[in-house]
């Protein structure tokens, strides 16, 4: 079976409001799925259900037995008050061998910041440290929740480029929530447009012509994306 996780007809109702309505999603080997959608669309909730943090009101979630999952949060809850070095954080409560650690450090280019305190890292460095930790146990599926939200534009581009490299080298699957669709266009294979229910999904090129996508993000977004697609083809 190729499927790593499949969620079928997920419904989440919180204080009388439907957060997720009949959402189904399937993540296969080597997939790169990006979830987009407005604030409050239930994107993070969907990730929580898929990772088993939250039990949906109805629906079935099946995952491959012993699926190795890596999760990269947007940022840490607490970094200022606790003195902890990047290296210590990456390996905290992880089972790993030295070779994987070395590999991860090289991949995410964090060798020079390993001995720094988390509290002094820049946002870009912090994201790479979080990514390194999520990769340490060689996950089959990497789940990222708005990984580049705290970065500036050039930082975002660097981060997505790094992600693309890791995706193609490791051959893992990626499920990501991101607003930066124009930047992830090149890598992502499938886009799911979520607004409490799945509005549309498909290849990035397809969904920009979808009427539901246009009504949600407007023509401007579609045009921006068209420009990026164009540039990409020329490259």
Partner 1 sequence: MEKIITDPFIIRGIIAGIAVALVSGLVGCFVVWRRLSYYGESIAHSSLLGAGIGIIIGVGVNFGVVFVCLCFGILFLWLQQSKSLSSDTLLGVIAHFALAIGIIVISFNKIKIDLHAFLFGDILTVSQSDIWGMYIGVIIAVTLILSNWSSLVLVTLDEDLAKSEGINPLYVNVLLTTIMTIVVALSLQIIGLLLITAMLIIPAATSRRLVNSPEAMVVVATLIGIFSVIFGIYLSVKMDLPSGPSIVVVSSTLFFLSHFFSLLAKKE
Tell me: does residue 77 bind partner 1 (CB under 8 A): yes
- Alpha-carbon Rg for the chain in angstroms: 18
Choose the stretch contacting partner 1; rule: CB under 8 A; options: 66-74, 154-162, 173-181, 192-200.
Answer: 66-74
Footprint of partner 1 on 116-175 (CB under 8 A) = 117, 133, 143
Mark the segment that binds partner 1 (CB under 8 A) among 46-54, 98-106, 176-184, 192-200: 46-54
Using rule CB under 8 A, residue 84 touches partner 1? yes
Q: Which residues between 93 and 112 bind partner 1 (CB under 8 A)?
A: 93-94
Q: Least CB distance from residue 48 to partner 1, whole Å? A: 8
- 104 CB-near residues (< 8 Å, 6+ apart): 90, 132, 135, 136
> In the bound complex, what is the minimum distance in angstroms from residue 107's beta carbon to partner 1?
19
**Cβ distance to partner 1 smaller for residue 69 or 163:** 69
Task: Report the nearest approach of partner 1 to the CB of residue 151 (Å).
Answer: 18
The reply to whether 234 sits near partner 1 by the rule CB under 8 A is: no
Q: Is 53 in the site for partner 1 (CB under 8 A)?
A: yes
Q: How far is the CB of 85 from partner 1 (least distance, A)?
A: 6
Residue of the chain from 13, 67, 85, 153 that contacts partner 1 (CB under 8 A) = 85
The residues near 234 (Cβ < 8 Å, ≥ 6 apart) are none
Residues in contact with partner 1 by CB under 8 A are 48, 51, 53, 69, 71, 73, 76-79, 81-85, 88-89, 92-94, 117, 133, 143
């Amino acid at each position: 079976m190729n499927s790593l996780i499949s969620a079928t007809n997920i419904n989440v109702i919180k204080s009388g409001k439907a957060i997720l309505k009949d959402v189904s999603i399937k993540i296969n080997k080597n997939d790169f799925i990006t979830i987009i959608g407005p604030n409050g669309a239930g994107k993070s909730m969907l990730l929580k259900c898929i990772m088993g943090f939250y039990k949906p009101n109805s629906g079935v979630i099946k995952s491959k037995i012993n699926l190795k999952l890596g999760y990269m949060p947007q940022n840490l809850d607490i970094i200022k008050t606790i003195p902890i070095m990047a290296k210590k954080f990456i390996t905290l409560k992880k089972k790993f061998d030295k070779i994987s650690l070395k590999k991860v450090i090289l991949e995410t280019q964090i060798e020079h910041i390993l001995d720094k305190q988390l509290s002094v890292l820049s946002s870009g460095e912090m994201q790479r440290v979080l990514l390194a930790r999520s990769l340490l146990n060689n996950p089959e599926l990497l789940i990222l929740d708005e990984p580049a939200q705290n970065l500036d534009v050039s930082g975002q581009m660097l981060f997505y480029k790094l992600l693309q490299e890791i995706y193609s080298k490791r051959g893992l699957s990626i499920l990501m929530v991101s607003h930066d669709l124009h930047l992830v266009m090149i890598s992502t294979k499938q886009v799911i447009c979520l607004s409490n229910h799945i509005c549309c999904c498909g290849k990035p090129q397809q969904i920009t012509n979808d009427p539901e996508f246009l009504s949600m993000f407007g023509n401007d977004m579609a045009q921006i994306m068209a420009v990026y697609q164009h540039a990409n083809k020329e490259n």
